[in-house]
């Protein structure tokens, strides 16, 4: 998966994690919900979970590149938060 697409998928993955962890439900229920929403993220970006996993493993082999990717992810999430962005944006 191209780096730009990886950044976009990771942004939505982290938004999904934040959404499910903030819900007032039991941990087991939030994990089930996360799994369902994660599938929606992959559908949105037209990527399979196996391609995502393979891409993560690829980028993790180069820590400097992975750090660069996550720097972009964090920057994007901070911009959304500071501009009053909501989860509706994802």
User: Each residue of 57-66: pLDDT tens digit?
Assistant: 999 999 999 9
pTM of the model: 0.85
User: Each residue of 60-83: pLDDT tens digit?
Assistant: 999 999 999 999 999 999 998 888
- Nearest CA among 90, 72, 84, 82 for reference residue 16: 90
So where are the chain's domains?
3-89
CA distance linking residue 7 with residue 33, whole number of Å: 22
Kindly report the number of other CB atoms within 10 A of residue 45's CB atom.
17
CA distance linking residue 3 with residue 66, whole number of Å: 9
CA distance linking residue 23 with residue 30, whole number of Å: 7
On whether the CB atoms of residues 18 and 35 are closer than 8 A, the answer is: no
């Amino acid at each position: 998966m191209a780096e730009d697409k990886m950044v976009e998928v990771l942004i939505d993955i982290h938004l999904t994690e934040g959404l499910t962890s903030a819900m007032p439900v039991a941990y087991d229920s939030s994990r089930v919900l996360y799994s369902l929403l994660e599938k929606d993220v992959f559908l949105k970006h037209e990527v399979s979970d196996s391609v995502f996993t393979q891409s993560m493993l690829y980028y993790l082999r180069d820590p400097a590149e992975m750090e660069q990717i996550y720097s972009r992810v964090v920057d994007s999430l901070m911009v959304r938060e500071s501009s009053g962005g909501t989860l509706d944006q994802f």
